[in-house]
Chain A
Amino acid sequence: MDFFAQQDKARTKTVYLVLLFCGALVCITLAIFCLFSLVGQNQRDLKDLAWTPVLLVQCGLGTLIVVGLASLGRIASLSGGGSVVAQSLGGKVIPPTTNNPNEKRILNIVEEMAIASGTPVPPVYLIEERGINAFAAGYSPNDAVVGITRGCSEKLNREQLQGVVAHEFSHILNGDMRLNIRLTGFIFGIVFLSRIGHVMMRLSGGSRRRSSNNKGGAGLVIIGIGLFAIGMVGGFFGSLIRAAVSRQREFLADASAVQFTRNPSGIAGALKRIGGFSTGSKIQASDAGDYCHMFFGSALNSMFATHPPLALRIRKIEPNWTDQYPDTDGILEKADPQAEGIVGFAGSISDSSPKPRAKKKKAGNKVEVVDSKSFISSFTGPSQDQVKEAATLISLIPSNILFLSKEPFGARCVLLSLLIDSNDTKFRKMQIQEISSAIDQSTADLTGKVYLKIRKLNSNLKFVLIEQCAAPLKQLSNTQQKEFTRVAESLILVDQRIDLFEWSFQKVIDQHLQSKEIANALHGRSSLKSRLPECTLFLGALAHFGKNEGGPKPAFEKGFRALSRSRPANLPVRSKCTPEKLEAALPRLQKMNSMAKRSFLDACAKTAEYDGKIAEEEIQILRGLSSALACPVGPIIRNS
């Protein structure tokens, strides 16, 4: 599975759906035209209009406007972000500081999966339901949330939970949520017609009682009944289509879950436990019907099943399955508090005995150059290696720093501390001074302390830390966010220059905080050919900063050949490859279409990996670039 190909496929599917919807609109228009004409034939003031093109055009316009507006309204109200959905289902955010081992386990799994796939860590909601179920909601990876039921957290073991979470991440990465929201909106628009019909029936029913001989009233009733029927039939077929699409996406998500975790028994085991559970995957919340397509297992039983039958799903993963369900009612999984790293009082920064979170702890934070296995694999959704690597990377970060990065105040200090200059004491003093005057003394103190702990981390870990801080950062109020960006900027500019790390830091934070222009970047149309000079610049920068043996030229050419075979490859001079120049080239790169972005990032990976090693600067450029292009990229895997 490939992130770009999936996004493209989802987009093509959306185009089909829009065409299908247009077809439906034409049919509805014709039906309404016939309806009005039939009614109009018998009425004096409408007689001339019946069966004329003028009426046809009027009906078409009316239908378009009514259905279109209703659809847009519904889509807008559904696009309010994942948290709205989670809350309307009665979910509560699991606080990152939770001491409940089962809740902590879910948070850890979600965190590992997010870091492996390079998306911001989504907030996790716990829903107090006995059924085993989970959902992902949100319009884009940036406002996505993951929801898990209480039953899910207690009836599944760690690898099964991991399968479920991977399934949900596949929905997030594939853009399924957006597709579903649009479909739901369209269907609502069509069904809205029947509501209008209903209102007309009731209105004219009232007026008829007063003057029984009113022919117009009778006409209105017939039109009302007609509209009602048209809306209902349209809605019926719309729901069938939506269910069919949704079932396909479920199969895809199951397959992706196997791919992310390389562990078919995880997701299959979870599905089996649902099958063997008396409550199954049922959700009691009254709003569940609206959101049934988002869940892991089917929330309701109806003929419009949004999910394929359980047995079929299991058999697709395990063809040799013998139709045996475990007795889930008797199962109660308890997470191991030690392994999940419950932090009691160890959260304080002064605490001297941080508990290691993973069992194995690797030494060697000071890796200057990391060996890379394959960077390209990062673009195709997280691999099993990356999920494992994410857990290792998290374990390399001091646990008290991780603890801090889970709530807004600490996360802000951690992010600011990443910007503190490690070479020059003079600048460092100025920066701390700046924080204490722009914010307050306690923030400055904490930032200084955090800085001492994180200065030795390599870039790969620093970006993991930034991803960790992203979710709490979004909980800042607008005023606080503005203050943060302002202070961050002045810290960056204290030495009068922007280095590569600072540049990519800004790109990643921008993506998480405002992401307006980055949302636009999703809808680029330009071809690769028209953006070749900008691409060349980035490849040149990667080649120059790559510290390759044998100079930058061969690395650059390897990447450039992936972009264009016909044109001559002219390596840009090093002085041209500054963060300012890269920044200036970005807006044009963002306008590329997604396949062009894919080829470009592939080329970048080829250049970066040329000598089998990826330098710090290369990680920084790649991270900043992928953030700016809104293409999630996981951590770079080291050979160890």
Chain B
Amino acid sequence: MTTLIVICVLALAVVVFVVSIYNKLVTLKNRFENAFSQIEVQLQRRYDLIPNLIETVKGYMKHERETLEAVIQARNQAAGSLKTASQNPGDAGAIAGLAGAEGLLGGALGRLFALSESYPDLKADKNMANLQEELSSTENKVAFSRQAFNDAVTNYNTYKQTFPPVLFSSAFGHAEDATLLEFESEKIADAPKVQF
């Protein structure tokens, strides 16, 4: 009888322990997914601003259609990747796709701003100045929420790679490491710097 009770208690203790690991994995995963929704809000805001930017710029830069179209195309592509990534922020491919698309968009925007340097009227436009400010402040917010996301991802990855969680993580559906979101190409991580 005593042995039965001892076995029951031991089994129960193990169950409680494993359940706590499971819960912690879920909590950490939720945390980084939540952090991604922060990035999503800011990136979405940026994508919403770009059509306004193009609208403003179009009147001045009549001969730069190619550049403008490149920006629009990059913006649409990035918006698409964002949608895919927000479905599953833990998916390495989706995150890499978003990072690539963001890199392209950053490059296209950079070229647009560089070109705008040679249009004095455009530089004097108040609407343009507002949009610039808005874009660069959104850029700061993206960078900041990206840092929070990467911290949360690192936390999650570290936890599931340590012992004992490493024994259970794949059984509980946490096999894949989450991927850090880095915008390395074309320096999108910095705000586009355009002097007026």
Name the interface residues of B82-133: CB closer than 8 Å to any CB of A.
129-130, 133
Are B140 and A69 interface neighbours, CB within 8 A?
A: no
Chain B 130-171 interface mask (CB, 8 Å, partner A; 1/0): 100110110011001101100110010000000000000000
A/B interface sample: 10 pairs, CB < 8 A:
A65-B9, A73-B16, A77-B23, A92-B37, A348-B137, A407-B38, A407-B41, A410-B141, A443-B140, A479-B151
Are A446 and B137 interface neighbours, CB within 8 A?
A: yes
Decide: A349 near B19, CB < 8 A? Known: A475-B38, A480-B147.
no
Residue numbers in A under 8 Å from B140 (CB-CB): 409, 442-443, 446
Are B144 and A408 interface neighbours, CB within 8 A?
A: yes
Are B148 and A408 interface neighbours, CB within 8 A?
A: yes
Q: Please, how many angstroms separate the alpha-carbon atoms of A72 and B19 in the complex? A: 12
Q: Please, how many angstroms separate the alpha-carbon atoms of A406 and B99 in the complex? A: 25
Q: Which of A76, A345, A477 is within 8 Å of B152, CB to CB?
A: A477
CB of B42 closer than 8 Å to a CB of A: yes
CB of A26 closer than 8 Å to a CB of B: no
Residue numbers in B under 8 Å from A65 (CB-CB): 9, 12
CB of B72 closer than 8 Å to a CB of A: no
Q: Please, how many angstroms separate the alpha-carbon atoms of A348 and B16 in the complex? A: 50
Residue with the greatest number of chain B CB neighbours at <10 A, chosen from A58, A407, A443, A477:
A477
Are B12 and A407 interface neighbours, CB within 8 A?
A: no
Q: Which of B130, B137, B151 is within 8 Å of A480, CB to CB?
A: B151
Q: Which residues of B contact A (CB under 8 A)?
A: 1-2, 5, 8-9, 12-13, 15-16, 19-20, 23, 26-27, 30, 34-35, 37-38, 41-42, 45, 52, 129-130, 133-134, 136-137, 140-141, 144-145, 147-148, 151-152, 155, 191
Residue numbers in B under 8 Å from A72 (CB-CB): 16
Chain A 1-40 interface mask (CB, 8 Å, partner B; 1/0): 0000000000000000000000000000000000010000
Are A407 and B42 interface neighbours, CB within 8 A?
A: yes
Known: A84-B27, A196-B8, A348-B134. 17 other contacts (CB 8 A): A46-B1, A55-B1, A61-B5, A69-B13, A76-B20, A84-B30, A93-B34, A345-B52, A348-B130, A348-B137, A350-B130, A408-B145, A409-B145, A443-B140, A475-B34, A479-B151, A480-B151
Are B134 and A73 interface neighbours, CB within 8 A?
A: no
Question: What is the distance, in angstroms, from B15's C-beta to the closest C-beta of chain A?
Answer: 8
Among residues of B, the one whose C-beta sits closest to the C-beta of A76 is B20
Residue numbers in A under 8 Å from B34 (CB-CB): 83, 93, 475
CB of A207 closer than 8 Å to a CB of B: no
CB of A213 closer than 8 Å to a CB of B: no
Residue numbers in A under 8 Å from B23 (CB-CB): 76-77, 80
Question: What is the distance, in angstroms, from A162's C-beta to the closest C-beta of chain B?
Answer: 26
Chain A 38-63 interface mask (CB, 8 Å, partner B; 1/0): 00000000100100000100100110
Residue numbers in B under 8 Å from A412 (CB-CB): 144
Q: Please, how many angstroms separate the alpha-carbon atoms of A352 and B28 in the complex? A: 42
Q: Please, how many angstroms separate the alpha-carbon atoms of A49 and B2 in the complex? A: 11
